Amino acid sequence: MTTLTQFYQKFRLRNLKFYLSFLCLITLLNFSSCNDANDNWEDVDSQKVLLAASTNSTKENKFEKVLQKFLTISSDNQLKKYIHPQLGFYINHKPGAISIVEHFDNLDQVYQHLPHLEPYFKKFNGKNPKNEKTPAFDCESFSKEGTFYQKTSSFKEIEKGIEIKEKITEKKHSKEEKEFAKKIDKKINHVVVLTDDYLEIGFTNINGKWYMLWFNLAKFDCSA
């Protein structure tokens, strides 16, 4: 009986060792497989990040080329193709101590209503645009000189301008006008600052074409 018991115990011990060895082997294989999977997912994620960065860089390069061409216009006739036929554009100007935001369908409408602004649409002094944060301005000088552009997803200057205009002039805009202003704000995805012209311009891309939706002559005008 003792011999059988000893044999049985040895048999159980061998099976237990075999089972534990087998379990360890499976665990190691699973761990290795998980590591490989994680490595593969990391590779995929890295590739996605690189692809996204490359895509964004390509888009910015395309905008920069368009902007370079835009800055070289020599007449307002060339500028007209950057004005959307249905959306028009907004101008922020300063007829007195306070800036006023107004919407125009085209340049002819601007010249009829604000003839003194015509020279601003004939030629730009900005050149060699850089994809950098736009400079700060303290009413005496810019934090850096040149032409700069940056992408934006939170443009609200038109909506703010209309609110200020209503408070100052006591002229109320319709609900449709306010909704249209918000719509244009949301469409603007690139802002350009030309320090040589003391000018800010907002652009959008519609069906593969770039349009000017915002022309800010007042932002850098500190005159009373």
Co-location of 32 and 89 in the same domain:
no
Spatial distance between the Cα atoms of 102 and 88, rounded to a whole number of angstroms: 11
Record the tokens describing residue 59, joined without a space: 């888009």
Mean pLDDT across 9-25 = 50
pLDDT tens sequence across 46-98: 554 444 444 556 768 899 999 999 999 999 999 999 999 999 999 999 998 88
Spatial distance between the Cα atoms of 53 and 69, rounded to a whole number of angstroms: 25
Co-location of 93 and 190 in the same domain:
yes
List all residues 6 or more positions away from 75 whose beta carbon is below 8 Å from its beta carbon: 122, 123
Write down how long the chain is.
Answer: 224
Spatial distance between the Cα atoms of 137 and 148, rounded to a whole number of angstroms: 13
Number of folded domains that form the chain: 2
Q: Which has the minimum average pLDDT: 42-51, 114-123, 162-171?
A: 42-51
Give residue 63's domain range.
Answer: 1-71
Spatial distance between the Cα atoms of 89 and 211, rounded to a whole number of angstroms: 9
Co-location of 83 and 24 in the same domain:
no
Co-location of 67 and 108 in the same domain:
no
